[in-house]
Chains A and B, each alone.
Chain A
Amino acid sequence: MNQKKKFSVRIFLYAVLICVSAAFLAPVFIVLLNSFKGRFFISEEPFSFPDSQTFAGIENYINGLEKTEFISAFGWSVFITVFSVAAIVVFTSMTAWYIVRVKNAFTKALYFIFVFSMIVPFQMVMFTMTKTAGELGLDTPWGIVIIYLGFGAGLAVFMFCGFLKSVPLEIEEAAMIDGCNPLQTFFMVVFPILRPTAITVAILNAMWIWNDYLLPYLLIGSEYRTIPIAVQYLRGGYGSVDMGALMAMLVLSIVPIVIFYLFCQKYIIKGIVAGAVKG
């Protein structure tokens, strides 16, 4: 009896999981289907398979790639994400080490301000930051890397400091006695120990920067497009959206992320959990 009951519970749980999975996969699948339909057939019946009348081949993809300059947008997204994440990981870990090892009123205040910046929503500094950065000539893909370093500093310094507090001093002191200067000590001894936190910081920041729309749109959007800007660009004026091109560009935006996710899943989920627990 008990055995039988357990079996039916199990069947029920699987049924629930399969239904929820379908709800999670269907939207992406529907977008994929529609990306192969003619642009005028999409809004009318989004849930039907393309047939001989509505099938448009890869026309939407060609159209969308041209309209949005998607390939260059992809390039800029990669450029900005890679350099910003690298800058955040290297510079904030150095800063965190300094804050933890040089204990005085100044570093305490610095730590407090970094942590404080984490709870401030972007809108608070949206206008003034855009103006300041523009004045300083930072409205370029290189400039935005500096802005991302500044914005990402709060969470990253906080996480590195949290980890560093539990790292014993002895190893560093030994390196110093052996004649290493602080820079050598940091990169040869401390940074390797920080690796797990560095991966978490890199993943959290990569996800944020890759998908960020408003900051790059305001700062460099008139000259350089990232992927979110390219997708939003298709909206244009009211009623003039090319649904076909939009569907195709949605697919092209999702594919690289899904591939990346399937390869680095273990690190991503671990990083997210670690980041959440500390944040």
Chain B
Amino acid sequence: MALKKYFPIFVMPTLIAFLIAFAVPFVLGLYLSFTEFTTVVDAEWVGIENYLKAFSNDDFLNALWFTVKFTVVSVITINVIAFTLALILTKGLKGTNLFRTVFFMPNLIGGIVLGYIWQLIINGVLNFAGVTITYDPKYGFWGLVILMNWQLIGYMMVIYIAGIQNIPSDLQDASKVDGANRLQTLRNVTIPLVMPSITICLFLTITNSFKLFDQNLALTAGAPSKQTAMLALDIYNTFYSRIGWEGVGQAKAVIFFVIVAAISFVQLALTRKKEVEQ
């Protein structure tokens, strides 16, 4: 086929950009995680020392635990609320589109701006108790959970709505005729049939929560004393505000990558099994 000769035009631009932005930095990053360096060219091999340092670093372990807790809580709350709203909005009520527009809107606002919006609101509420969000790490934690809910509920809801609308209506009618009540219909018809949407939403909320950075930076920047710093922010701090720890920062980044990749694989493998063939 003549197309093959057109490789330089069709593939080269994307490939070169991809090599510069991703492939070369990725390989270089893997290598550098086993070295000590400050400017890339002065790298010296140190074996797994950076990884040992990372795992004995309190900031890192704290960030890891904080991130896991945050991800679990926000994934559950976001999906339960989003799914409930999707059920309500597929009942054929008037004004459904208007509500959908409103719920989806926060998803378009950037993380930095979201962080400052909620900093104002949460500090305003805490002001009645005479404190601010950086007074106690649990305020920062719940602040982030609320923010994440506000941002992602509309997004997930839209995906659930599409999933529910795809269910053939004769299936729901059939279960009604068979005498199933609402809860039984939900459990035995609706949920199994929207399993693909549930897979997607779980996947999106887990990875988005786990990789959160901008919102974390704007809302608390890790305060008080790094206790509300999530993994991405801790890696950033290790690179850019601790001299001589670049190698450890890169090792933390590799660990971060391995966790995110593992979540993606496990999660997809698990829920794909439960999907119903349509």
A and B from one assembly? yes
Residues of A that sit less than 8 Å from B by CB: 10, 13-14, 16-17, 20-21, 23-25, 27-28, 30-31, 34, 42-47, 91-92, 94-95, 97-99, 101-102, 110, 113-114, 117, 119-129, 131-133, 136, 138, 146-151, 153-154, 157, 176, 181-183, 186, 207, 210-214, 227-228, 231-232, 235, 243, 246-247, 250, 253-254, 257-258, 260-262, 265, 268-269, 272-273, 276-277, 279
B213 adjacent to A214 (CB under 8 Å): yes
Using A176-B2, A254-B109 as known contacts, say yes or no to A124 and B103 having CB atoms under 8 A apart: no
Residues 3-27 of chain B, each 1 if its beta carbon lies under 8 Å from chain A, else 0:
1101101110111011111111110
Secondary structure at the A interface, as helix, strand, loop or mixed, is: helix
**B224 lies within 8 A of chain A by Cβ:** no
Partner of B28, one of A95, A128, A273: A128
Closest CB in chain A relative to B112 CB, distance in Å: 4
Partner of B29, one of A42, A44, A92, A124: A124
Residues 97-111 of chain B, each 1 if its beta carbon lies under 8 Å from chain A, else 0:
001111111111111
B214 adjacent to A228 (CB under 8 Å): yes
Residues of B contacting A253 with CB < 8 Å? 109-110, 113
B261 adjacent to A119 (CB under 8 Å): yes
Using A17-B99, A95-B11, A183-B6 as known contacts, say yes or no to A276 and B204 having CB atoms under 8 A apart: yes
B25 adjacent to A125 (CB under 8 Å): yes
Residues of A contacting B102 with CB < 8 Å? 21, 24-25
A47 adjacent to B124 (CB under 8 Å): yes
Partner of B21, one of A27, A94, A114, A149: A149
Which of chain A's residues has its CB closest to B103's CB?
A24
Closest CB in chain A relative to B263 CB, distance in Å: 9
A-B contact pairs, 13 of them (CB 8 A): A17-B99, A27-B121, A31-B120, A114-B18, A124-B254, A151-B21, A210-B110, A228-B113, A231-B116, A235-B221, A260-B108, A269-B100, A272-B107
Which of chain B's residues has its CB closest to A181's CB?
B2
Using A24-B102, A246-B116 as known contacts, say yes or no to A43 and B127 having CB atoms under 8 A apart: yes
Q: What is the bound-complex CA distance between A135 and B123, given in angstroms? A: 43
B121 adjacent to A20 (CB under 8 Å): no
B112 adjacent to A129 (CB under 8 Å): no
Q: What is the bound-complex CA distance between A181 and B32, given in angstroms? A: 45
B93 adjacent to A147 (CB under 8 Å): no
A131 adjacent to B40 (CB under 8 Å): yes
A117 adjacent to B17 (CB under 8 Å): no
Known contacts A27-B117, A126-B236; 11 further A-B pairs (Cβ under 8 A): A27-B121, A94-B13, A117-B22, A117-B26, A120-B26, A120-B260, A122-B232, A124-B26, A258-B108, A272-B159, A273-B159
